Structure 1
Amino acid sequence: MTDTETISNLQAENAFQSQKIKSLEEKVELLLDLLQKKVVKKDSHNSSLPPSSDLFTKNKSLRAISTRPNGGQVGHKGSTLKMSETPDNITELKSDFCSVCGQSLTSELFILKAKRQVIEIPPIIPIYEEYRQYVCQCPTCQHQQLADFPLGVNAPIQYGSSVETLVGYFSIYQYIPFKRLQSLFSQLFFLPLSQGSIGNILERSAEKCESIYQEIKTQILQSSVVGSDETGAKVNGAKWWIWVWQNLQNTFLVASDNRGSKTIGSVFDKGLPNSVMVSDRWAAQLKTHSKNSQICLAHLLRDLIYLVETEQLDFAIQFKTFIIRIFESKKITAENNKAYIQNSEEAILLEQTLNGLLLISIDKEKYPKSATFQVSILKNRNFILPCLYNLEIPPDNNGSERAIRNIKVKQKVSGQFKSGQNAFCVIRSVIDTLLKRGVELIPCLNQINKLQPV
């Protein structure tokens, strides 16, 4: 090998080593950068994960520390157990003799000194109501006239509306599983009830609730503000989704095997053109044809807390402060019963602040999560402040989350659905709507269960 060739090989090897060293230095720099960054795990306080996923950690509230004292607040209306003016049983307590000298007191005058009441629940025993059908021959035409059984009495032995009401109440509202419900009826009501019968009763109750369920849907369609959300649910081992559309007066639940806009189209084929839709940033929700949209600011606040904890960028800190400011402004509008006017000084200032935050330049390489968040907000920029221009629009989607949380609690207590997901949605929609309207639940459900399926 000549000297020229040797020099050439050494130069090539040196160039290769230099490139390798540079690559390794970049990797070391990246690793050092990662080590310096605080490792933050997502939980319920900085993401949309449920509190139940916060294993072995104390939940952190999004609320700021209050200056008010602990306990009952000034103006809070308390409640206490009150005595009945018409007790069912009265036991007179009179002494037969004096406990000091032994003198008989049976013929003496007694004066009422005090009274106390104890509340008891008597044993609940089922009532078997028998209907006897008689036939009579008409003396004129010899027609055999047969009396009719009451409407709905179709079998030699069956459960009545009160039983169906309690099955629906305990299963749908109190989340009691079929096996435990069977045990409850046996031990508490002395009434045999198979798990198959429970399923059949719920299906019949859902059929009786159907007309009310459809009326709730109509009310949602006509509403000026509607919140919507969805959550996963297991149905016979498969992944399904339970959707909710709700407002202050109504709750409408639907079970679907699809999380996309296909479900929304099948339920509301023309969307919700009369409504302002309140939701998270799920694309299917935002695609719904509606009058306007409001994205959940509580979701944004949790996302921003995560960004502050991980990337610690001024953008996230400022945006978090901005969202808190919106919540405070919304509280003021509610207290004053006066929404912001579109071009008012306060509104213009908030709009300018939002625009300024969205114009901040973010290094995508160093702060990828913050950059992604900013891009998402740019797409949904017009859906952040509508809550301040309309008193009816909430700044969060907590109403929908409360409605949808029932599904998670139901499945945690009772396990997956086998086939009753649609019946659950129908009955639960009716129950939640009745509760929102302040109706006494059990009597109303009993009246519904006296109806005949449509």
Structure 2
Amino acid sequence: MELELPDDTESLKAMVRRLLVEIEQLKAKNAELEAKNAELRSRLDQDSGNSHKPPSTDGLTKKPALPKTKRSNSGGQKGHKGNTLRQVSEPDHIICHYPEVCSCCGKAFHYEQIEIMSKRQVFDLPPQRLIVTEHQLGQAICDCGHTETGTYPSHITQPAQYGAKVRALGVLLSVQYRLPQEQISQLFIDLYGYSLNTGTVIHALDTAYTQLQSTETHIKNQLLQEKVVHYDETGLRVAGKTHWLHTACSAQYTYLFVHPKRGQEALRSASSIIKDFQHYAVHDCWASYFAFTCFHVICNAHILRELTALIEQGSVWASLFHTFLLDCYQQNIAKESVEVRFSEIMIQANREEPFARKIPQARGRPKKTKGRSLLERLIHYKVSLLAFMFDSDIPFTNNQAERDIRCVKIKMKVSGGFRTTQGAHAYARIQSVISTLRKQNINVFDSLCILFSESTSDLLCLTAK
């Protein structure tokens, strides 16, 4: 079908102008569709290396978050102390394996003829049974006629009850090892022949939650004095609704709390400590954290993932900045050169990521590309991004917080969620204390036994002594 052109010049000019407008509109529409197509393709290619998806979604293609500087041989390394099982000098039982008769002449051996040539030791579990201790209350009548009655220990309250070690093990299995209540009960039946019912475990968890309040306060006070504290949050299901588990942690202390909200409402609540923290806070650049006056440090592992996603789309500046960050991490670049190199890459980035143009007749502000958004964030938070280069106490990533918060994700995979808000709060407090004890190389089971057998105001101080 041929297009009929007008004969007069003015009509031709009007047609050309109309077609030029349509061409511009089609170009803008085409650019918009290409951007949407690229975004959809990038979503299909997302993994833990170029997005915020967890490593568990990568299947068998997992890669380390940061490159390893040296590839060593498998197995124990030189200088590694190791935990090899070693023989003890005084075994509990000795079983002798003596020859009875001579295989040559058939003569029986006497005991005096036998000499021990070698020994082997087997380490095994003792017979599994609960030890029942009976507490008897005595009464005496004095010569003066007064009757005096003894008193039971404060933790002995029932005619028949489980002791501190059983309750400590129940709490440890539920919180640290994330076993459902039914499996804990079945395990006790298999090991000891007693059914540790759900009510007993829940009561032990509630008791631990109450008695660990002062220990939790101690942890929060210690974290406020730390130079560097890591912050993070993750979602979980509580009573059928989405809640958030927040963490504040360091190399020595872990604090967890549950809140219905993720942002500033949670961070300004009485449970949070960041509102009172005045030192270095490491986080993943979540906007709500920047409302507080502490010194902010950005997790560079998150930045590397975003840069990787841009590199896969052909970004040159992202590749340059990815290399720059790793050079800083591996100390392959002088501190004096950091500012200059950063500025050079940002100039290249501004060429590749221009400001978004407003589409004619489109409502609202023009949408920025992911590259432009990341670029502006890097420039705005440059000090927070490169703080690790100028202070050896500041880490490159926020891995400490991610490790301390990972436990609840495993808990969710096993149990699906918490039935009650009280159960979630109890889990957070007990896990905080258990994680802190682990970091300080304090035996967790012994500490929980102390918790259930003694009236203590601060478990950390008592176990440290």
TM class, shorter-length: 0.7 to 0.9
Give 1:238's aligned amino acid: K
Contact preservation (8 Å) 2:231, 2:281:
yes
Deviation at 1:171, TM superposition (A): 1.0
Is 1:232 the counterpart of 2:235 in the alignment?
yes
Give 2:345's aligned amino acid: L
Aligned equivalent of 1:147:
150
Which structure 2 residues correspond to residues 241-390 of structure 1 after superposition, within 5 A?
A: 241-266=244-269, 267-268=271-272, 271-290=275-294, 292-310=295-313, 312-329=314-331, 346-359=334-347, 360-361=349-350, 362-365=353-356, 368-390=369-391
Aligned equivalent of 1:192:
195
Deviation at 1:408, TM superposition (A): 0.4
Distance 1:20 1:268, change over 3 A: closer
Contact preservation (8 Å) 1:223, 1:274:
no
Alpha-carbon RMSD across the aligned residues, in angstroms, is 2.8
Give 2:183's aligned amino acid: R
Deviation at 1:10, TM superposition (A): 9.4
Write the distance in 1 (CA, Å) between the matches of 2:152 and 2:107.
67
Matched pairs, number: 432
Give 2:287's aligned amino acid: A
SS in structure 2 of the partner of residue 277 of structure 1: strand
Give 2:315's aligned amino acid: L
Deviation at 1:352, TM superposition (A): 2.5
Distance 1:354 1:127, change over 3 A: same
Deviation at 1:82, TM superposition (A): 0.7
Contact preservation (8 Å) 2:227, 2:280:
yes
Write the distance in 1 (CA, Å) between the matches of 2:280 and 2:20.
61
Write the distance in 2 (CA, Å) between the matches of 1:275 and 1:241.
24
Distance 1:35 1:402, change over 3 A: closer
Give 2:408's aligned amino acid: I
Contact preservation (8 Å) 2:140, 2:148:
yes
Distance 1:78 1:255, change over 3 A: same
Instruction: Provide structure 1 residue ranges, at least 5 long, that are not aligned to the other structure.
Output: 333-344
Aligned equivalent of 1:442:
445
SS in structure 2 of the partner of residue 199 of structure 1: helix
Write the distance in 2 (CA, Å) between the matches of 1:51 and 1:189.
39
Contact preservation (8 Å) 1:243, 1:253:
yes
Write the distance in 2 (CA, Å) between the matches of 1:188 and 1:29.
67
Distance 1:215 1:26, change over 3 A: closer
- What's the TM-score, normalizing by structure 2? 0.85
Aligned equivalent of 1:205:
208
Write the distance in 2 (CA, Å) between the matches of 1:63 and 1:392.
19
Superposed CA offset, 1:295-352 (max 9, x none):
1111111111111112x222211111121122112xx8xxxxxxxxxxxx93332123
Superposed CA offset, 1:36-81 (max 9, x none):
8993322111122111222x45112233365434224333333422
Give 1:276's aligned amino acid: Y
- What's the TM-score, normalizing by structure 1? 0.87
Write the distance in 2 (CA, Å) between the matches of 1:188 and 1:173.
19
Write the distance in 1 (CA, Å) between the matches of 2:99 and 2:63.
60
SS in structure 1 of the partner of residue 126 of structure 2: coil
What is the aligned-residue identity percentage?
29
Superposed CA offset, 1:403-446 (max 9, x none):
00011011112220112111111111111111111112221221
Contact preservation (8 Å) 1:204, 1:453:
no
Is 1:60 the counterpart of 2:48 in the alignment?
no
Distance 1:148 1:107, change over 3 A: closer
Give 2:371's aligned amino acid: S
Q: Between 269-278 and 390-399, report the one with greater CA deviation.
A: 269-278
Write the distance in 2 (CA, Å) between the matches of 1:263 and 1:225.
21
Give 2:198's aligned amino acid: Q
Aligned equivalent of 2:406:
405
